[in-house]
Amino acid sequence: MKTIALFGTSADPPTTGHQSILRWLSQHFDWVAVWAADNPFKSHSTCLEHRMAMLHLLIAATQPAINNVGLYAELSSPRTLETVERARQRWPHAHFTLVIGSDLLAQLPQWYHISELLERVHLLVIPRPGYGITAAHLEKLKGMGAIVAIADLPGLNVSSTAYRENRESEELPPPIAAYIHQQQLYSCQDASLKRRPIHPHNGC
């Protein structure tokens, strides 16, 4: 049976952290499905179309080439349960693993219909600096029926928030930095607007 990693991301913008995760996933799964999504627990600084475009660039720029990674706009949903249903329609015989960073462990129990989601996928957690994976997190998830594995990938100490706040381009693969420059994204220096909700003036 084909193993498929499902990796949804706000990608606001995608960083070297996302890139290193994709590289690792491509080496450990038959196929990797990626999409940009709105996260119901966050606001976003740039519209979904730009975030998908940046993910496309990220995949194309990754070396060595990651030929088993595909970008799927149709999988995008704020509710991962809906994403998984769409994935099951597309790949009816695949085995799905949902990929999350360890920063999401605490909020995962609040996701939409989490028990149903955990019936349909295995979980793979990517360790992230500053977000320990505790026995309490794992016990809670296992109590909800989760089958959880932890990746032997040390997540990089980078984040989209750090880029938005500090504009340090070393957080970003060069094609992403170039796209942001060309499209004049994330240019607002007003701290109160750095995490503003989706708005017609966000560059789309």
Ligand X SMILES: Nc1ncnc2c1ncn2[C@@H]1O[C@H](COP(=O)(O)OP(=O)(O)OP(=O)(O)O)[C@@H](O)[C@H]1O
**Interface residues with ligand NCN (CB under 6 A)?**
8-10, 37, 39-42, 78-81, 104, 111-112
Which residues touch 139 (CB under 8 Å, ≥6 apart)? none
- CB nearer to ligand NCN: give 96 or 111: 111
Is 18 in contact with 11 (CB distance < 8 Å)? yes
Is 135 in contact with 103 (CB distance < 8 Å)? no
List the single partner that 118 binds among ligand X, ligand NCN, none, CB under 5 to 8 Å by kind: none
Report helix, strand and coil shares of the chain as percent, to nearest 5: 40, 15, 40
List the single partner that 112 binds among ligand X, ligand NCN, none, CB under 5 to 8 Å by kind: ligand NCN
- In the set 5, 19, 50, 128, which binds ligand X (CB under 6 A)? 128
> 178: part of which helix (H) or strand (E)?
helix 174-183
Applying CB under 6 A, does 126 fall inside the site for ligand X?
A: yes
As a whole number of angstroms, the distance between CA 18 and CA 36 comes to: 12
- CB nearer to ligand NCN: give 63 or 84: 84
- In the set 4, 81, 121, 158, which binds ligand X (CB under 6 A)? 158
**What tokens were used for 78?**
């704020």
Applying CB under 6 A, does 11 fall inside the site for ligand X?
A: yes
Positions in the binding site for ligand X (CB under 6 A): 9-12, 15, 17-18, 100-101, 103-104, 126, 128, 155-156, 158-161
